Amino acid sequence: MKRTLASFCWLLTVYTVLVILWGAFVRASGSGAGCGSHWPLCNGEILPRSPGLETLIELTHRITSGALGLFVAALVVVSFRRRPRGHVVRKGALVVLAFVILESLVGAGLVKFEWVAANASMERVYVMAFHLVNTMLLVAALVVTAWFAGAERRFNVVVRRAVMIPLTLAAVGLLLTGMSGAVTALGDTLVLSQGLSAADSPVVAGLVASRAYHPSIALVVFGLVLYALWRVSRTGDSARSYGRSLALAFGAQLLLGLLNVWLRAPTWMQLVHL
DSSP-assigned states of every residue in 121-155: -HHHHHHHHHHHHHHHHHHHHHHHHHHHHT-SS--
Phi, psi of 121 (to 5 degrees): -105, 155
CA distance 216 to 35: 37
Closest CA to 153 of 87, 234, 95, 94: 87
Tell me, yes or no, if 58 is annotated catalytic. Answer: yes
- Residue among 45, 54, 58, 114 flagged as catalytic: 58
Quickly count: other Cβ atoms within 10 Å of residue 14's Cβ.
Answer: 11
Cβ atoms of 273 and 260 within 8 Å: the answer is: yes
Which 3 state secondary structure label does DSSP give 75? Answer: helix
Phi first, then psi, for residue 45 (nearest 5°) are -130, 160
Distance in angstroms (rounded) separating the CA atoms of residues 67 and 27 = 20
Closest C-alpha to 271, from 175, 176, 189: 189
DSSP category for residue 194:
S
Rounded to 5°, the CA angle 251-159-83 comes to 95
Query: What is the C-alpha R_g of the chain?
Result: 20
Catalytic residue ranges: 58
